[in-house]
Amino acid sequence: MTVSRVINDSGYISPDTRARVKVAIAELGYMPNALARQLRSQRTKTLALIVTDISNPFFTTIARGVEDTAKALGYAVMFCNTYESEVEELEYVRVLIQRRVDGVLLVPAAGSVDSIQLLQEHGLPVVVLDRHVRVEQVDQVRSDSEAGAHSLVRHMIGLGHRYIAVLTGPQVVSTSADRVAGYRRALTEAGLTSADEQVHFGEYNEASGYEMTVRLLATLPLATAIFATNNFIAFGAIRALREAGLTIPEDMSIAVFDDLPKGWMLDPFLTAVAQPAYEIGKRAAELMIERLAGDAPAEARTIVLPSEMITRRSTAPPRQVAAMPFQRTAPSRRKAAVLTSQPVGQTENPA
Amino acid sequence: MTVSRVINDSGYISPDTRARVKVAIAELGYMPNALARQLRSQRTKTLALIVTDISNPFFTTIARGVEDTAKALGYAVMFCNTYESEVEELEYVRVLIQRRVDGVLLVPAAGSVDSIQLLQEHGLPVVVLDRHVRVEQVDQVRSDSEAGAHSLVRHMIGLGHRYIAVLTGPQVVSTSADRVAGYRRALTEAGLTSADEQVHFGEYNEASGYEMTVRLLATLPLATAIFATNNFIAFGAIRALREAGLTIPEDMSIAVFDDLPKGWMLDPFLTAVAQPAYEIGKRAAELMIERLAGDAPAEARTIVLPSEMITRRSTAPPRQVAAMPFQRTAPSRRKAAVLTSQPVGQTENPA
DNA sequence: CTGTTAGCGCGTTCAG
DNA sequence: CTGAACGCGCTAACAG
């Protein structure tokens, strides 16, 4: 049809015909069928974003970055939530291949690379977000987990802490492993040994944070500081500390990877590392669309964005030790805390 | 092709042929093209969910409810975020029509009905979520804003409050209007008049909550209780109260519509009305898919789910007044608070 | 400048 | 039980 030319502004067309077509379109309320267009052009102008936990504001912020950027460049986005399950992830990937999305932005559920391989076999470009994978030839965008963790832990060591526990997600998830690596480097640089380490692997959620903290409080030597590698873990830890009757930072310092969006906390008091989540989403979408446009180099690109440490009131020198470099003497084995089952909601008022 | 029959398990096929086809499919890694299928069948098995603020956990929870339900029934979901803008909304609707989604689940950005009409003109079923609209013949799912607001305000009146301010979103948004209506009914039932009302219309975000609270604190008679009709507004209000040096609930009670997900608050202390967000999403998706399957009655259905009040520590009797029904005497005009610009983060520790 | 032809990959229909 | 013909709505490539 000539209509096609009018809609796409392609080829020559007489002003008169064009006008008449436009009138007809308006009258009929005609809208072109994107499906047919996509079938013909073999491009859907659609991206997919697969995340592991849409409840996490970190990922919703990434999603906004992706969507805003994609939309501005004429792409739609399909969001998929895997609940951290590789099975769900693979299922989604199959659907997305069948639906012929142009590319997939993926936060991989675990160390698995099956999804990525399947996508690549079918010629779909992939950008991996937040976590990294051992696959060559795939673009990646994330922030520096190792460095962020290192600066948080160094900060706590600088305050005089020696027994610092880290509560983290699954060992197979790269962010979890990297944050533990940063923790270990900080300890090592301070002359501490693996005997001083307290690493708890769990899940990236509140329940796991709670449970790991309960275990931690029964471990000797009792830690004086906690490094939670994600928000939800920190929330669970704080709940456990409160129930145990411990105060922050007097009895226990705590620092967390991931800051909450501004205006989310009633009282921002957690020392944290803030990741540029919106920027991660934006850069990932740009990388993808650039590649789809053929403007990208053949080799894979990796963008590692810096994260920023924000010192607040949840970290302070430990009670028994002055805020100075500690001496490497025999550790005074502190008594493990007794868990008193104190009801939640009995603390002083935050406002 | 015979392949089609194998994939769809339709028609008769010899076990032998079926086996050979399956082998070939596995070898080639063949995946059917959903686009062609959709073009042929005129159904995309895709729904769209348009929300006004993907940052709000209330809406991400709805999104999970929608996605889980849709996926279980073989549908994919496209998420769209309008940032509360009607223009964006209409733009999305056009895209979705062109992409031939089977149906649209819509949280309308404002009182406007243009999007809904456009969708209906193109034969697309619509389910309106959370907010209601004046359009006939459209399925709706929401929770009871009026009743929820009423119970919160009645609770505060019962504590002895007389000057209760409500901080809410845009007047044109139905949830905002309904919550104010519930507030007014509670006041009226307690024998209070419009002279006792303090209604502030703004936006459903933190900045607006802050700003409305600053105005409120300069208004006489000074309110002793605040009803915030959404989380973000409450966060802004709390920030403003803290900066003004006021404590909750001693100087000011506060109650809020929308509870945060479990484990999200470091210290759940806000008296709130919790909406069944996941259920709203789930029911909406079910309604839609039922209608798409032709199992729905012709007339529109409206589901109004109950919400639940949770009493916590942020509401208490006002300082000067005992916790009993107040006397309708001449109000003692209280002095408006002086705003002292006190830095955030100087309060006691929540843990 | 405009219309015709053909094919994107599938499923429905109808012959064999 | 299996294949061939046709069309879903669009656009690239040619005629006219």
Q: Given a cut of 90, is residue B127 above it in pLDDT?
A: yes
Contacts of B32 in chain A (CB under 8 A): 98
The stretches of chain B forming alpha helices (DSSP H) are: 2-8, 15-28, 34-41, 57-72, 86-98, 114-121, 145-158, 174-189, 206-217, 231-243, 277-292
Note whether residue B351 is domain-resident: no
Helix (H) or strand (E) holding A91: helix A86-98
Contacts of A242 in chain B (CB under 8 A): 267, 351
Axis crossing angle, helix B114-121 with helix B86-98, rounded to the nearest 10: 10
Same domain for A17 and A76: no
**Which pLDDT does position B351 carry in this prediction?**
40
C1'-nearest nucleotide to the CA of A16 = C1
Q: How far is the CA of A39 from the C1' of C7 (A)?
A: 10
Phi and psi torsions of B263, nearest 5°: 80, 5
User: CA torsion, points B270, B272, B275, B276, in degrees to nearest 10?
Assistant: 60
Chain B interface includes A212 (CB < 8 A): no
Query: Averaged over B244-270, what is the pLDDT?
Result: 89
At B110, the amino acid letter reads: A
Same domain for B197 and B121: no
Q: How far is the CA of B226 from the C1' of C13 (A)?
A: 68
- Residue B114 vs residues A181, A255, B89, B93, B141: alpha-carbon distances, Å: 54, 49, 10, 10, 19
Q: Given a cut of 60, is residue A66 above it in pLDDT?
A: yes
Is residue A256 within 8 Å of A271, Cβ to Cβ? yes
Given phi > 0 = left and psi -120 to 50 = alpha, else beta, which region is B84?
A: left
From B191's Cα to the closest Cα of chain A, the distance in A is 31
**Which pLDDT does position B207 carry in this prediction?**
96
Average pLDDT, chain B: 88
**Which pLDDT does position A1 carry in this prediction?**
63
Query: Averaged over B147-173, what is the pLDDT?
Result: 97
Q: Which residues pair with A77 in a beta bridge?
A: A47
Comparing CB atoms, the residue among A35, A64, A239 nearest residue B54 is A64
Note whether residue A26 is domain-resident: yes
More confident residue, A11 or B206: B206
Q: Given a cut of 60, is residue A100 above it in pLDDT?
A: yes
Question: What CATH number does the domain containing B224 carry?
Answer: 3.40.50.2300
Note whether residue B257 is domain-resident: yes
Comparing CB atoms, the residue among A39, A121, A242 nearest residue B39 is A39
Copy the structure tokens of residue A72.
């501005």
Same domain for B51 and B21: no
Is residue A48 within 8 Å of A76, Cβ to Cβ? no
pLDDT band at B188 (very low <50, low <70, confident <90, very high): very high
Give the lowest-confidence range in A314-323, B82-91, B164-173: A314-323
**Which pLDDT does position A324 carry in this prediction?**
45
Same domain for B8 and B107: no
**Which pLDDT does position A340 carry in this prediction?**
35
Please name which of A168, A173, A172, A175 lies closest in space to residue A204, comparing C-alpha atoms: A168
Same domain for A160 and A233: yes
pLDDT band at A272 (very low <50, low <70, confident <90, very high): very high
DSSP assignments along B76-115, one per residue: EEEEEE-TT-HHHHHHHHHHHHHTT-SEEEE--SSS--HH
Distance CA A116, CA A59 (A): 20
Given phi > 0 = left and psi -120 to 50 = alpha, else beta, which region is B191?
A: left
Contacts of B278 in chain A (CB under 8 A): none
Note whether residue A345 is domain-resident: no
Tally of CA atoms within 13 A in the half-sphere of B347 that contains its CB:
24
Is residue A233 within 8 Å of A212, Cβ to Cβ? yes
Q: Given a cut of 60, is residue A336 above it in pLDDT?
A: no
Copy the structure tokens of residue A224.
């004086």
- Asked whether residue B320's C-beta has any atom of DNA/RNA strand C within 7 A, the reply is no
Distance CA A38, CA A176 (A): 40
Q: Given a cut of 80, is residue A351 above it in pLDDT?
A: no
Query: Averaged over A311-319, what is the pLDDT?
Result: 95
Contact call for A236 and B313, based on CB within 8 A: no
Distance CA B232, CA B256 (A): 10
User: CA torsion, points B171, B131, B179, B310, in degrees to nearest 10?
Assistant: -140
Question: How many residues can be counted in chain B?
Answer: 351
Contact call for A350 and B351, based on CB within 8 A: no
Average pLDDT, chain A: 89
Please name which of B227, B231, B165, B229 lies closest in space to residue B192, comparing C-alpha atoms: B165
Q: How far is the CA of A91 from the C1' of C15 (A)?
A: 39
pLDDT band at B29 (very low <50, low <70, confident <90, very high): confident
Chain A interface includes B269 (CB < 8 A): yes
Comparing CB atoms, the residue among A36, A95, A269 nearest residue B76 is A95
Is residue B116 within 8 Å of B108, Cβ to Cβ? yes
For chain A, what percent of residues have pLDDT higher than 70?
89
Note whether residue B347 is domain-resident: no
Query: Averaged over B32-43, what is the pLDDT?
Result: 93
Distance CA B196, CA B179 (A): 17
- Asked whether residue A5's C-beta has any atom of DNA/RNA strand C within 7 A, the reply is yes
For A334, counting Cβ atoms within 10 Å of its Cβ (0-12 exposed, 13-18 middle, 19+ buried), the class is middle
Question: With b meaning 16 or more CB within 10 Å and e meaning fewer, what string describes A242-266?
Answer: bbbebebbebbbbbbbbbbeebbbb
- Helix and strand totals (H; E) in chain B: 11, 12
Same domain for A168 and A254: yes
For B69, counting Cβ atoms within 10 Å of its Cβ (0-12 exposed, 13-18 middle, 19+ buried), the class is buried
Same domain for B324 and B297: no
Same domain for A157 and A104: no
Q: Given a cut of 60, is residue B340 above it in pLDDT?
A: no
Edge-first strand listing for the sheet containing A126-129? A76-81, A46-51, A103-106, A126-129, A139-143, A302-305
Same domain for B67 and B21: no
- Asked whether residue B8's C-beta has any atom of DNA/RNA strand C within 7 A, the reply is yes
Biggest alpha carbon distance in chain A? Answer: 93
Q: Which domain holds residue A96?
A: 41-143+276-305
pLDDT tens profile A197-225: 999 999 999 999 999 999 999 998 999 99
**Which pLDDT does position B145 carry in this prediction?**
97
Query: Averaged over B261-277, what is the pLDDT?
Result: 86
Query: Averaged over A1-7, what is the pLDDT?
Result: 72
**Which pLDDT does position A11 carry in this prediction?**
67
- Asked whether residue A14's C-beta has any atom of DNA/RNA strand D within 7 A, the reply is no
Is residue B305 within 8 Å of B273, Cβ to Cβ? no
Contacts of A34 in chain B (CB under 8 A): 98-100
Q: How many CB atoms lie within 10 A of CB B324?
A: 10
For chain B, what percent of residues have pLDDT higher than 70?
89
Chain B interface includes A239 (CB < 8 A): yes
**Coil, helix or strand at residue B35:** helix
- Asked whether residue B41's C-beta has any atom of DNA/RNA strand C within 7 A, the reply is yes
Q: Given a cut of 80, is residue A74 above it in pLDDT?
A: yes
Q: Given a cut of 50, is residue B41 above it in pLDDT?
A: yes
Q: How many CB atoms lie within 10 A of CB B15?
A: 7
Note whether residue A73 is domain-resident: yes
Q: Given a cut of 90, is residue A10 above it in pLDDT?
A: no
Phi and psi torsions of A292, nearest 5°: -65, -30
Note whether residue B337 is domain-resident: no
Note whether residue A337 is domain-resident: no
More confident residue, B58 or A13: B58
- Per the listing, tokens 């803030």 go with A274
Helix (H) or strand (E) holding A176: helix A174-189
DSSP state of B194: G
Phi and psi torsions of A264, nearest 5°: -95, -30
pTM of this structure: 0.90
Same domain for B258 and B165: yes
Q: How far is the CA of B41 from the C1' of C5 (A)?
A: 25
Chain A interface includes B242 (CB < 8 A): yes
Contact call for B207 and A263, based on CB within 8 A: yes
**Domain count for chain A:** 3
pLDDT tens profile B313-333: 999 999 864 444 444 444 444
Q: Given a cut of 70, is residue B233 above it in pLDDT?
A: yes
Question: How many residues can be counted in chain A?
Answer: 351
**Coil, helix or strand at residue A75:** coil
Contact call for A267 and B36, based on CB within 8 A: no
- Asked whether residue B39's C-beta has any atom of DNA/RNA strand D within 7 A, the reply is yes
**Coil, helix or strand at residue A310:** strand
Distance of CA B161 to the CA centre of its chain: 27
Give the lowest-confidence range in A109-113, B217-221, B255-259: A109-113
Contact call for B345 and A265, based on CB within 8 A: no
For chain A, what percent of residues have pLDDT higher than 90?
75
DSSP assignments along A13-74, one per residue: --HHHHHHHHHHHHHHT----HHHHHHHHT---EEEEEES-TTSHHHHHHHHHHHHHHHHTT
Same domain for A314 and A198: yes
pLDDT tens profile B87-97: 999 999 999 99
**Which pLDDT does position A6 carry in this prediction?**
77
Is residue A97 within 8 Å of A124, Cβ to Cβ? yes
Chain A interface includes B20 (CB < 8 A): no
**Which pLDDT does position B262 carry in this prediction?**
79
pLDDT band at A261 (very low <50, low <70, confident <90, very high): confident
Please name which of A238, A231, A237, A225 lies closest in space to residue A204, comparing C-alpha atoms: A231
Distance CA A45, CA A53 (A): 25
Same domain for B175 and B74: no
At B43, the amino acid letter reads: R
Is residue A102 within 8 Å of A265, Cβ to Cβ? no
